[in-house]
Amino acid sequence: MISIFPKSILIFLTLLFFSAKATYYEWEKQVELIPTDGNEFYYFGFSSYLAKNYCIIGAYKATINNISDQGKAYIYQNNGTNWNYLQEISPQNSNVSEFFASCVAINNDFAFVGASQATVNNNTFQGKVYVFKNNGSYWNQSQNLIASDGKSNDNFGLSIAVYNDVLIVGSPQSTVGNNSEQGKVYVFKNNGTYWNELQILIASDGNPNDNFGASVAIYNDVLIVGSPQAAVGNNSEQGKVYVFKNNGTYWNQQQILVSSDGQQDDTFGTSVGIEKNYSIIGAFGATVDENFAQGKAYIFQNNGTYWNQQQILIASDGESSDNFGVSSAISNGVVIIGAYNAAVGKYMSQGKAYIFQSDGIYWNQLQIISPNDTLYGELFGTSVSISENYIVVGAPDASLGNTLYVGKAYIFQGFPEPNQVNIENCTSLYSSFECYWDQIGDLSTISYQINYHYYEENWIDINSPSLNGSILYEIFDSLNYPNIIGNVEYSIQIRACNISTNFCGAASLPWNLTTRIDSVKDLQLNPNQYYINISWSQPDVPVINLIPKLDHYVISYFNQSQTNLINNISVSNSSTSYQLNNLESLTLYSISIWACQTENCSGNEQGEIISQTTSTVFGPVTNFTCSTSNIYNLSCSWKPPTNSQLPNYYNFTIQSSQLNDYQNYSINSTILNTTLLYSNIDYTITIKGCNNETGCGIISTIELKTTQLNASNINSWETGIEQIKLNISSVEFAKGYQITLNEGNEWKNFSQINSSGNNIYGEINNIAGNIEYNVEVRACSETSCNSILSGKPSNNITMKARLGYVEEFNCVGIIEGFECNWNELNLASGLNGYSLSYYMSKECLANDTTYFEVDDDLEGGVEYSVSIQAVTTTDCFPDEYSGPITTIKVTTQKKTVSNSSKNKGGIIAASIIVPLFVIALVIGIVFYIKKRESKRRGYKELNLKNVKEPIFDDFLDSNDATENQKLV
C-alpha cells in the first residue's frame, strides 16, 4: 500500500483542521432584563455593554422628574448563576434632557455613560461622558468627561470603548477644520484616579459628513474607528474604518480599512469590534444580491503588521432591510451581529442577532437568536455586547403589555462543548474490558458516554465512573449493555457530555482492542471409578467472525490431595468432550479448561479459565442378584465394590415405567427384601455404593419382569334375565378377578368379582339378552384390576343372557274387549317380537310394537288374564333366551242396551241431532282404531269363548321357575 502523506503530515493536517474546536455548542436565553421602574418611551436596551460579571443597559429616553429624554442606565451583576439588578444610575445635578446612556460601557472599576445631547457651557448637543466609580458595592459618579475643544452638536459620547486605562469616545458630528460632521475621537487615559484627555484622533483623509467616530473599539494597543458615511472613490457612504496603533504613548493612524466588495451606501463601519488579531466591522446598509440594506459584516485579521479582510459574514436567512451589522461585538472566537430590522415570522422589525463562531479558519454561523415574543418592531439587536460566555442584546422598542417602547435586554448564555476525551489505556479482560481516560472538568457538570462496537455503534451512558484523576470504567455483560464478547476486536470511544445541556464533546480517538476469548460453557464433569468424562460447549464467538481464533482447548488437572499438576492436555477446537483416564478411585481432582486463540496460547491469547472439582467414585457393586419368591416378594443381594474403602451406604432403587412407580432406599446392609411388586411388570432395579465425600458410584442394574398370574378357568355358567352367572376357579396370589366381554371386536372390562374360597362367583348384569358374548376371566395382582396387572386369560366361552321383562305392561278394559300398552324392551338387540296371550288367543307381535287392542270380541263385564313375553323367535315360539312372562288382570266392559221404541214420539229435533252425533263418534272411533292398530305378525285365534285364562306354554313355565336361582 502506498501512503501519499507521511504520517507526521497527516497528524499535522488533522491538528490543523480538527484541533481548533468550536468554542460553544449552543447559546440559550438565560434572562430577560426589564427596567424595574420602566415606563413608556424608555428605550431600555438602546445601548448595552457586558464586561465579565457586570452588565450595563441604557435607557436614553427615560423621563426623570418629568424631564423627558433625560435618560438612565441600569447596572446588573452576575453572582455566578444569576444576573441580579444592582442599581440604576443617572446624572447628578442634571435637569435637562441629554440622552444620558445613548452609549454605555463598563469594566470592573468604572462605568461610562455617554450623554451625547448634553449641553456643555451653553453648547447644546455637545455631549458628555459621565464616569461612575465602583466602590465595591455601589457606583458613584466620579467625573464628567468633556471634549477639550467641544462645540455644539458634536454628539460627543455617541460611541465609547474602554480597554484597561484607555477610554475612547467618539464625537462623530464634530467639525474638523471646515468639514462639518467629519468627526473626531478622543482618547482618555486614567492616571490612577482620573481620566485625562490624551489625544484627539482625526482621520488623515477626512471629509465633511464622514461621521468618523460613529463607532469605536479598542483592544490592547490597537483602536479602530468607524467612519460609515465616508465615501470610497465615487461611492458615497460606502464607509471606512481607521486603525490606530499605540507607539507607547500616542496613537497613530496605521491603516484605513475598506471592504473588498464595497458599494455606495454600505455604511461599512456602522459598528466595530476588536479582540486580539480579529476585528468585526458591520456594514448595515450593504446590499446582498438583490436585497437592499440586508447588511453584511466583515472579519479582518491582523497578520502581525497589517489588517486584511478575512471573510464576509452574511446572515443565512437575510432579507432586504434587515440591517444586519447595525451592531456587532467579538470575544474569544465568537462574534455577535445585530439585525434589528429583521422580521421574525410575521413580526416585522422584531429583530434578530446572529452568532458566528470561528473554527480556527472560518467563521461559521452557529445560531440565530431572537425574542420569542409576539411583538412587532421590538428592534432586538439594536445593541449587542459579548463577554466570555454571555451575550447581551438590547431590544429598545419592546413594549411591556400596553406600555410602549419600555424596552428589554436579553442575556444569552453560551454552553461550551466539553473537550475531547483522551483515552490513556484500555485493556482486554475476558468478556469485558477496562479503560482509563483523562477526566474532563467537573463530574457534577460532566458525564461520560462510551461507544464500543465491532459491527454496531451506539453511545451508552457510563453511569458511575470512579473519581481518581483518571477514571476506571469496566463494562460487564449486563442487561443494560450489549454483551461484550470475548475474542472480538472492539473499537472504543469515549466522550464527555454536559449534564445540564446534554451537549457532548468530540469523541476520543478510537482505541482498538481484542477481547480475550470467553470461558467454555456448560462445563460438566461426570466421574467414574478410574476416569472422569468432561463435556463442554464452545465459548461465545462473534456473530460476524472477523477474527475467528479458536485454535484448541487446554485441559489441566491435578490430584487435590497432592496439589501437583498431573497434565496439560491439548484438545482439538472441534471437540466438546474428553475423558481423563488412569485416575485413582475415590480421589478428588481439580480440572480446568480454557480455549486458546493461537497454537502457543499465552497471555491475551489464552481464554478465560474455568475450573471445577470432582472426585472419582466407587466402582459397581459385585455379585448383584435379584429374585422373586412369589410375585409379591423381591429379594436382592450384592457384595461391596472392589475399592479399597467400603461404601458408607448403598443407594437402591426399584422403578417401573409401566406403573410410573419409583422407590428409593438408602441402606447399610447388602441385602434388600421388599414386597411391593405386581405381576407381569418390568422392573429396573439399581444399586450403587456411596459415601458422603465422593457421592455415589457406578450404578449396577438388573432388569426383572415379575411372573404373570396363572389363568383362571370358567368352570360353568348360566344364563339369567339380562344376566350371565359364572363359576370360575381361583388363582394363587390373585387379589382380584376381572371379567371381560368381547362385543364385536373389542374386549371390554365389564365387571369384577371377588374371591370366596376356591369357588368364585360372578355376575354379568344388565346385558342385552339373546346376544352372543365371548367371555374371559383374568386373575389380578391388585383388587382394582387393570390390563397391566392382570394374569393370563381364561378359556374363552361364548355365552348368552335371556331377554328381560316387558316393562310398564298395562291393560284397560273396553266394551267387550281391552287395550294394552308397554315400553319397548331395553337392551333389546336380541329381541324378535312379543308374545301376548289372553283367554284362548295368542298374538305374535312385531318387535317395535308397544300397543295391542281387542274390541267387541269378548264377553263384557268379565275379568281376563293377559300375559306378555319378549321372545327371540319370529314365530313367537319361546325358547330358553326369551324373557319372563308378565301377567295382569283386566275386566271388559258390558255393551249398553239401547231400546229405540222407547224413544219413538220423542222430540224430532233430538232424533236428528243424535244420529249426527253418533255418526261423528263412529267416524272418530274408526279413525282412532285404525291409527292405533297393532302390528300383528300372523296369529291363531282359538275362539274358545268360555275359557277366561290364557293358554301358557309349558316350556316357559319351567324356565320361569329358575329365574332367581343361584348357579350350583
Q: Which three cell numbers stand for residue 580?
A: 481423563
Shortest Cβ 84–ligand NAG spacing (Å):
5
DSSP type of residue 405: T
∠ at Cα 242 (241, 248), nearest 5°? 150
Spatial separation of the C-alpha atoms in residues 832 and 799, rounded to whole Å: 18
Closest to 398 measured CA to CA, from 384, 390, 409: 409
Give least dist CB 346 to ligand NAG, A: 35
Closest contact distance (angstroms) between CB of 106 and ligand NAG is: 19
Residue 247 within binding range of ligand NAG, rule CB under 6 A = yes
Grid cell in block for residue 641? 465394590
Q: Could you give the CA distance from residue 768 to residue 932 in angstroms, rounded to a whole number?
A: 28
The dihedral through the CA atoms of 944, 948, 954, 955 has a sign that is positive
Q: Among residue numbers 440 through 459, which ones bind ligand NAG (CB under 6 A)?
A: none
Minimum CB distance to ligand NAG, residue 436 (Å): 34
Q: Which is nearer to ligand NAG, 80 or 304 (CB)?
A: 80
Q: Closest approach of Cβ 318 to ligand NAG, in Å?
A: 38
The one among 138, 194, 476, 665 contacting ligand NAG by CB under 6 A: 194
Per-residue contact flags (x/-) with ligand NAG for residues 790 to 829, judged by CB under 6 A: ----------------------------------------
> Which of the stretches 19-27, 79-87, 516-524, 804-812 binds ligand NAG when contact is defined by CB under 6 A?
79-87
Of the candidates 14, 19, 84, 572, which one interacts with ligand NAG according to CB under 6 A? 84
CA atoms within 13 A on the CB side of 209: 6
Stretch near ligand NAG under the rule CB under 6 A, chosen from 78-86, 274-282, 320-328, 434-442 = 78-86
Task: Determine phi and psi for 443, rounding to 5 degrees.
Answer: -70, -10
**Residue 153 Cβ vs ligand NAG, minimum distance, rounded to whole Å:** 16
Binding segment (CB under 6 A) for ligand NAG, from list 77-85, 171-179, 394-402, 956-964: 77-85
> Closest Cα partner for 27 from 494, 354, 478?
354
Does 191 bind ligand NAG (CB under 6 A)? Our answer is: yes
How deeply is 109 buried, as exposed, middle or buried, from its count of CB atoms within 10 A (0-12, 13-18, 19+)? Answer: middle
Judged by beta carbon, residue 165 or residue 824, the one nearer ligand NAG is: 165
AA letter at 162: V
Min CB(188)–ligand NAG separation in Å: 10
Q: How far apart are CA 165 and CA 485, in angstroms?
A: 65
Q: Which is nearer to ligand NAG, 79 or 756 (CB)?
A: 79
Among 66, 122, 581, 582, binds ligand NAG (CB under 6 A): 122
Give ∠ CA 954-960-962 in degrees, rounded to 5. Answer: 120
Min separation Cβ 193 and ligand NAG, Å: 6
Position among 81, 692, 756, 943 found at the interface with ligand NAG (CB under 6 A): 81
Specify the DSSP class assigned to residue 13: H
Residue 539 to residue 541: CA distance in whole angstroms: 6
Contact residues for 764 (Cβ-Cβ < 8 A; gap 6+): 723, 724, 725, 726, 739, 741, 750, 751, 773, 775, 801
Closer Cβ to ligand NAG, 248 or 603, answer by number: 248
Ranges assigned E (strand) in 342-381: 352-358, 363-369
To ligand NAG, the closest distance from the beta carbon of 131 in angstroms equals 12
Please check whether residue 267 is in contact with residue 278, taking contact to mean a CB–CB distance below 8 angstroms: no
The residue range among 242-250, 323-331, 360-368, 880-888 that interacts with ligand NAG, by the rule CB under 6 A, is 242-250
- CB atoms < 10 A from the CB of 802, how many? 24
- Contact present, 358 and 365 (Cβ < 8 Å): no
DSSP string for residues in 110-132: EEEEEETT--BTTBTT--EEEEE
Nearest C-alpha neighbor of 485 from the set 524, 543, 557, 405: 543
Identify the residue among 8, 36, 80, 938 touching ligand NAG (CB under 6 A).
80
Which is closer to ligand NAG, CB of 65 or CB of 191? 191
Closest distance to ligand NAG from the beta carbon of 251 (Å): 8
Size of interface with ligand NAG, in residues (CB under 6 A): 17
Site string for ligand NAG, 317-356 (x = CB under 6 A): ----------------------------------------
Residues 698 and 670 sit within 8 Å (Cβ to Cβ): no
The length of the chain is 968
Q: Which is nearer to ligand NAG, 191 or 444 (CB)?
A: 191
Q: With CB under 6 A as the contact rule, which of the stretches 178-186, 191-199, 305-313, 569-577 interacts with ligand NAG?
A: 191-199
Q: Say whether residue 249 binds ligand NAG (CB under 6 A).
A: yes
Smallest distance, ligand NAG to C-beta of residue 36, A: 14
For the segment 509-538, give every residue that binds ligand NAG (CB under 6 A).
none
d(CA 668, CA 642): 17
196 binds ligand NAG (CB under 6 A): yes
Output the CA angle 283-284-286, nearest 5 degrees.
70
**Shortest approach of ligand NAG to residue 53 CB, angstroms?**
11
Q: Which stretch binds ligand NAG (CB under 6 A): 241-249, 315-323, 734-742, 799-807?
A: 241-249
Task: Between 194 and 292, name the residue whose CB sits nearer to ligand NAG.
Answer: 194
Interface with ligand NAG, residue 124, by CB under 6 A: no
Distance of CA 165 to the CA centre of its chain: 64
**Cα separation, 54 vs 591, whole angstroms:** 74
Q: Per CB under 6 A, does 82 bind ligand NAG?
A: yes
CB of 150 to ligand NAG, least distance (A): 12
Which pairing describes strands 307-313 and 296-302: parallel, antiparallel, or unpaired? antiparallel
Instruction: In angstroms, give the least distance from the CB of 79 to ligand NAG.
Output: 4
Q: How far is the CB of 13 from ligand NAG (least distance, A)?
A: 42
Whose Cβ is closer to ligand NAG: residue 185's or residue 631's? 185
- Residue from 192, 233, 905, 938 touching ligand NAG (CB under 6 A): that is 192
Q: Are 386 and 336 in contact (CB under 8 A)?
A: yes
587 class by beta-carbon count within 10 Å (0-12 exposed, 13-18 middle, 19+ buried): middle
3-state secondary structure of 605: helix
- State the number of CA atoms in the 13 A half-sphere of 147 facing the CB: 33
Shortest approach of ligand NAG to residue 192 CB, angstroms?
Answer: 5
Smaller CB distance to ligand NAG: residue 188 or 433?
Answer: 188
Other CB atoms within 10 Å distance of the CB of residue 561: 10
| Alpha carbons 630 and 860: distance in angstroms, whole number | 77
Member of 252, 613, 796, 965 binding ligand NAG (CB under 6 A): 252
State which of positions 736-775 bind ligand NAG (CB under 6 A).
none
In whole angstroms, give the CA distance from residue 798 to residue 773. 5
Query: How far apart are CB 443 and ligand NAG at their closest, in Å?
Result: 20
Binding mask 650-689 for ligand NAG (x = CB under 6 A): ----------------------------------------
From CA 311, how far away is CA 324, in angstroms rounded? 15
* Contact positions vs ligand NAG (CB under 6 A): 79-82, 84, 121-122, 191-194, 196, 247-250, 252
